[in-house]
Amino acid sequence: MSSNSFQGKLIVFSAPSGAGKTTIVKHLLQQQALNLAFSISATSRKKRGEELDGKDYYFISTDQFKKHIKTGDFLEWEEVYRDNFYGTLNSEIERIWAMGKHVIFDIDVSGGLRIKKKFPEQTLAIFIKPPSIDELKIRLKKRQTESDDKINMRISKASAELATAPLFDCIIENITLEKAQEEAIQTVQRFIDS
């Protein structure tokens, strides 16, 4: 990574599916004072529905993705399912730092922890915790976007993800969204000012 320009902070948000991290991240992006920009992940999967390349994700082929891995272009990456890759390009961080902004990530637990490991001083890793697994199940069902099998898969994954919460710099429990958002703003502000 180039060191000649502004080096901002890296703000990582991870959580089990349905804990509300995406809503919280969107809220933080609206806080002008925090000076944040969203890190867009690269993926080898196909676009879904209304998704836009360069806004929701950088959609690249599996072969391109593997080339980027070989040349060390990723800050972090993983193969979620066979030939289904997700990752953060180093160039994405540089793009945001070049704008003089801090980077905010909405990323899974293992990706979040890998970023923290690479940039321990510059990264604030925040875990968004649902009030309970039962509550998580209710929230996922309310979305009505997935089959019961898929929901049960996410729930069992959530238990494993919750076990990693102590590895994060801080845990914000999302019992009421407004409180969680307020806590997130204060936590991020303190870190940026530090």
Mean pLDDT computed over 76-82: 89
Nearest to 15 by CA among 105, 80, 117: 105
The domain made up of 10-193 has a fold known as Rossmann fold (3.40.50)
- Which residues sit opposite 10 in a β-bridge? 103, 123
Can you give the pLDDT at residue 95?
96
C-alpha pair distances (Å), 191 with each of 35, 71, 185: 13, 32, 10
Mean pLDDT computed over 55-60: 94
Own/partner contacts of 144-149, CB < 8 Å, gap of 24 or more, are none
Beta-strand relationship, 84-89 and 42-43: antiparallel
| Residue 35, φ and ψ in degrees, nearest 5 | 55, 55
- CA 41-47-50 angle, to 5 degrees, is 100
* 18 pLDDT higher than 60: yes
Sign of CA pseudo-dihedral 80, 54, 60, 96: negative
Can you give the pLDDT at residue 1?
52
145: amino acid identity, one letter: T
Q: Is the CB of residue 89 less than 8 Å from the CB of residue 74? A: yes
- Which residues sit opposite 117 in a β-bridge? none
- 111-153 pLDDT, tens digit per residue, is 999 999 999 999 999 999 998 989 888 888 888 888 888 888 8
- 144-188 pLDDT, tens digit per residue, is 888 888 888 889 889 899 999 999 999 999 999 999 999 999 999
Find the range with the poorest average confidence among 61-75, 96-110, 141-155, 162-176.
141-155
* 6 pLDDT higher than 90: no
139: amino acid identity, one letter: R
| C-alpha–C-alpha distance, residues 46 and 82, integer Å | 14
Q: What are the tokens at 88?
A: 């953060």
Can you give the pLDDT at residue 30?
97
* 5 pLDDT higher than 80: no
- Which residues sit opposite 37 in a β-bridge? 103
According to DSSP, residue 44 is labeled S
Can you give the pLDDT at residue 140?
86
Can you give the pLDDT at residue 80?
81
Measured between its terminal Cα atoms, the distance across the chain in Å is 23
* 3 pLDDT higher than 60: no
User: What is the average pLDDT score of the chain?
Assistant: 93
Beta-strand relationship, 123-129 and 42-43: unpaired
* 42 pLDDT higher than 90: yes
- Between these two residues, 158 and 28, which has the higher pLDDT value? 28
Mean pLDDT computed over 30-54: 95
Q: Domain map of the chain by residue range?
A: 10-193
Can you give the pLDDT at residue 105?
97
pTM: 0.89
